[in-house]
């Protein structure tokens, strides 16, 4: 058994083999692997006895279940109205300039992926962004450079 | 103009009370009927935005005959400009859990779920701790009710109750046809109560202080208080609990920056109210107070005169185009065409009269879309295009 197979088996043992467990299982894989590869989706289908097309269809519906390879830290910048009004673009420019990637891309060292997302629910402290599960609010271009520097120091 | 009216600030929801054990044990000593009647007489309506009477929802579920029933707390707070549920779950989670357990007692449900949006994953750990403590107490008083968190994965449409249940059943979050309503056939085809986080906290207020206390707040048809998420061009963005029924003029007087051009009431799926209509607009459920009254999930976004309404509408439509589940044609194609359409008018590729065609399209969407998402695109689209037509063109 390779690592992905055993990860999926553990998750399915933990959450159960019924269809209601599909989302928790997929979330578990994404937590570990940062995305769902075609291979993991087929493995989930096999392990849970669900058609692979159904697994693919469900996975691609949800924006937090990435199906393209992603970095260790996924940066999601809110682009909905209040954040857009309060400087989300400056924030995006600062990140792109610092990491030398565009929206949708991953840094060559697989550390960061940059994405835009819809309303994060922090409109009173706009602009907001998520780095994996952690929230950062009222982020200025200066602050985002500090925040990212912190993540860059970490050894991956 | 004289401003005589003061907004009525209240403090029920975030009041820190440490007596949830007492509230729970004394409430479940009453008969289920008694609790339902109490809720009905309070005239509490759903605070997620749709405004269905909460007492009636519990009653219908209680009357449905089935071996299993479920209680779901809808914490998939995705409407742009709303952030109150997050605050409730981080500050007073035990009120939500108590209300869910009472709902289980009243309806006969043994299992409860909190559907928490993926963006609020950071709340999960703390919330689970509170749930553990809560479950321990339930066991002590022999109340058979369990609560679990179900994490969403970033889909606005899953806030729609039937899409939410599809998602919990491990499928794409595509809304179901209604009827049957969730009170008859919901999660796993069993009778299910789906309540917004804030609605549940209001039931706590009613259990603890009585229906009359709640009923005495607000105005006719719109009883009680409501949390408002205030954002945009305002010197004091944040979350405020106010009595329902206030006029938008008073709201702007309190929260505006002196240059408020328009207010978006109810998020991207709500209505944009221009300055000249502030006086005639009240915030509450249907039933006329002064002029029009607008229901809301509590999202209040203020725009001052430096904002282009074209950009605002463009941002909303981009949002809807992405979040439309794609299941029904009017919504899937409609959202795309509206976005392309306003851009074409702005660039001058289409004449100004093309906006009227787009307005017709939103009417069609309102009539034929399967769920609230497609139906409500017309709200913001028509209120922006009709009131700020020139900004769409020039």
The answer to whether the Cβ–Cβ distance between A20 and B230 falls below 8 Å is: no
ipTM over 0.85: yes
Count of domains forming chain A: 2
Predicted confidence band of residue B7 (pLDDT cuts 50, 70, 90)? confident
Structural domain includes residue A9:
yes
Residue A87 and residue A52 in one domain? no
- What does the alpha-carbon distance between residue B307 and residue B231 come to, in Å, rounded to a whole number? 14
Report yes or no on A20 lying in a domain: yes
What pLDDT is recorded for position B50? Answer: 82
3-class DSSP state of B126: helix
| Mean pLDDT, residues B315-341 | 97
Return the pLDDT at B2. Answer: 40
Task: Kindly state the percentage of chain B with pLDDT values over 90.
Answer: 89
Q: To probe the interface with A, which of B118, B124, B300 has the most A CB atoms within 10 Å?
A: B118
Same domain? A54 vs A95: no
Asked if the structure places residue A138 within a domain, the reply is yes
Instruction: Tell whether A54 is covered by a domain.
Output: yes
Residues of chain B with C-beta less than 8 angstroms from the C-beta of A63: 153-155
pLDDT the model gives residue B338: 98
Work out the pLDDT band at B289, boundaries 50, 70, 90. very low
Contact A26 B316 (CB under 8 A): no
Helix, strand or coil for residue A17?
coil
Q: What is the pLDDT of residues B161-180, one digit of tens each?
A: 999 999 999 999 999 999 99
State whether A103 and A39 are in the same domain: no
Nearest by CB to A124, which of B118, B237, B322? B237
**For B301, nearest residue in chain A (alpha carbons):** A82
Domain assignment of residue A57, given as a range: 3-61
Place of tokens 């009923």: B215
Backbone phi and psi for residue B371, each to the nearest 5 degrees, phi listed first = -130, 180
Residues of B in contact with A126 (CB under 8 A): 231
Bond preceding residue A127 cis, omega within 30 of 0: yes
Higher pLDDT, B285 or B288: B285
Across the interface, whether the CB atoms of A58 and B325 are under 8 A apart is answered no
B223 forms beta bridges with B218
pLDDT over 90 percentage in chain A = 97
Report chain B's C-alpha Rg in angstroms.
21
Closest partner CB to B172 (pick from A26, A58, A123): A58
pLDDT at A154 over 90: no
Residue A120 maps to a domain:
yes
Q: What is the pLDDT of residue B291?
A: 56
DSSP B175: P
Strands B225-232 vs B299-304: parallel, antiparallel or unpaired: parallel
Question: What does the pLDDT read at residue B3?
Answer: 46
CA A114 to mean position of chain CA atoms? 9
Q: Note whether A80 and A54 are same-domain residues.
A: no
Band of residue B288 on the pLDDT scale cut at 50, 70, 90: very low
CA distance A110 to A154: 13
Cβ atoms < 10 Å from Cβ of B171? 18
Q: Which among B82, B155, B188 has CB closest to A121?
A: B82
Judge if A21 and A55 occupy the same domain. Answer: yes
Ramachandran bin of A80, using left for φ above 0, alpha for ψ from -120 to 50, beta for the remaining angles: beta
Domain boundary among A13, A33, A61: A61
A49 within a domain of the structure (yes/no): yes
Residue A68 forms part of a structural domain: no
Same domain, residue pair A52 and A29: yes
Domains with residue ranges and CATH for chain B: 20-215 (3.40.50.11540), 218-304 (3.10.20.600), 309-393 (1.20.1440.230)
Q: What is the pLDDT of residue A124?
A: 97
Confidence band for B1, pLDDT divided at 50, 70 and 90: very low
Q: Average pLDDT in the B124-138 region?
A: 97
pLDDT tens digits, residue range A13-67? 999 999 999 999 999 999 999 999 999 999 999 999 999 999 999 999 999 999 9
Q: Do residue A32 and residue A102 come from a single domain?
A: no
A17 and A81 inside one domain: no
Residue whose token pair is 């994490």:
B151
| Residue in B79, B172, B238 closest to A61 by CB | B172
- What are the DSSP calls for A52-94, one per residue? HHHHHHHHHH-TTS--S---SEEEEEE-SHHHHHTTHHHHHHH
**HEC string of A111-135?**
CEEEEEECCCCCHHHCCCEEECCEE
Question: Which residues lie closer than 8 Å to B388 by C-beta, 6 or more apart?
Answer: B262, B274, B309, B310
pLDDT at B287 over 80: no
Cβ contact (<8 Å) for B169 and A122? no
| Mean pLDDT, all residues of chain B | 94
Do A143 and A81 belong together in one domain? yes
Mean pLDDT, residues B312-325 taken together: 97
- Span B345-389, pLDDT tens digits: 999 999 999 999 999 999 999 999 999 999 999 999 999 999 999
Instruction: Give yes or no for residue B125 having a pLDDT over 90.
Output: yes
Q: Please tell me the least confidently modeled range out of B45-49, B219-223, B293-297, B316-320.
A: B293-297
Three-state secondary-structure class, residue B22? helix
* Closest CB to A118 among B168, B172, B323: B323
Residue to substitute from A16, A75, A81, A87, interface B, most B β-carbons within 10 A: A81
Smallest Cα distance from A125 to chain B, Å: 8
Same domain, A42 and A84: no
Asked if A123's CB is within 8 angstroms of B231's CB, the reply is yes
């Amino acid at each position: 058994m390779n690592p992905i197979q055993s990860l999926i088996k553990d998750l399915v043992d933990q959450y159960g083999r019924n269809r209601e467990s599909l989302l928790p299982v997929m979330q578990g894989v994404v937590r570990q692997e940062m995305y769902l590869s075609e291979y993991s989706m087929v493995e989930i289908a096999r392990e849970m006895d669900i058609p692979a097309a159904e697994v693919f269809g469900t996975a691609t519906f949800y924006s937090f279940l990435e199906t393209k390879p992603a970095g260790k830290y996924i940066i999601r910048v809110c682009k909905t109205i209040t954040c857009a009004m309060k400087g989300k673009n400056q924030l995006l420019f600062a990140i792109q300039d610092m990491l030398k990637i565009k929206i949708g891309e991953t840094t060559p060292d697989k550390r960061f992926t940059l994405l835009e997302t819809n309303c994060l629910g922090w409109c009173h402290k706009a602009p907001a962004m998520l780095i994996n599960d952690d929230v950062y609010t009222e982020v200025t271009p200066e602050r985002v450079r500090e925040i990212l520097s912190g993540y860059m120091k970490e050894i991956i | 103009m004289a401003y005589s009216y003061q907004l009525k600030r209240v403090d029920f929801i975030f009041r820190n009370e440490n007596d949830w054990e007492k509230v729970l044990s004394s409430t479940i000593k009453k008969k289920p009927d008694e609790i339902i009647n109490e809720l009905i007489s309070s005239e509490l309506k759903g605070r997620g935005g749709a405004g269905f009477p909460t007492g009636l929802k519990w009653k219908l579920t209680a009357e449905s005959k089935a071996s299993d029933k479920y209680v779901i707390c809808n914490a998939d707070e995705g409407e742009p400009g709303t952030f109150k549920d997050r605050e409730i779950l981080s500050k007073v989670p035990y009120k939500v859990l108590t209300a869910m357990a009472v709902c289980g007692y009243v309806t006969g449900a043994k299992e409860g779920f909190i559907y928490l949006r993926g963006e609020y994953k950071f709340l999960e750990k703390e919330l689970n701790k509170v749930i553990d403590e809560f479950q321990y107490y339930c066991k002590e008083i022999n109340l058979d009710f369990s609560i679990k968190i179900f994490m969403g994965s970033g889909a606005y449409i899953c806030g729609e109750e039937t899409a939410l249940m599809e998602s919990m059943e491990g499928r794409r979050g595509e809304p179901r046809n209604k009827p049957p309503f969730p009170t008859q056939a919901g999660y796993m085809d069993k009778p299910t109560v789906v309540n917004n986080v804030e609605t549940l906290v209001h039931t706590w207020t009613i259990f603890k202080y009585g229906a009359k206390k709640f009923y005495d707040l607000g105005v006719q048809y719109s009883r009680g208080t409501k949390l408002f998420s205030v954002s945009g061009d305002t010197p004091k963005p944040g979350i405020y609990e106010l009595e329902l029924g206030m006029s938008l003029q008073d709201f702007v007087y309190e929260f505006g920056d002196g240059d408020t051009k328009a207010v978006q009431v109810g998020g991207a799926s709500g209505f944009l109210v221009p300055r000249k209509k502030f006086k005639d607009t009240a915030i509450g459920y249907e039933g006329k107070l002064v002029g029009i009254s607008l229901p809301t999930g509590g999202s209040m976004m203020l725009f001052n005169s430096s904002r282009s309404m074209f950009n605002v509408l463009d941002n909303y439509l981009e949002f809807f185009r992405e979040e439309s589940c794609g299941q029904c044609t009017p919504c899937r194609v409609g959202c795309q065409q509206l976005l392309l359409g306003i851009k074409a008018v702005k660039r001058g590729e289409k004449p100004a009269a093309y906006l009227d065609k787009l307005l017709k399209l939103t009417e069609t969407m309102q009539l034929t879309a399967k769920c609230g998402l497609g139906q409500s695109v017309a709200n913001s689209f028509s209120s922006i295009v009709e009131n700020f037509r020139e900004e769409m063109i020039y």
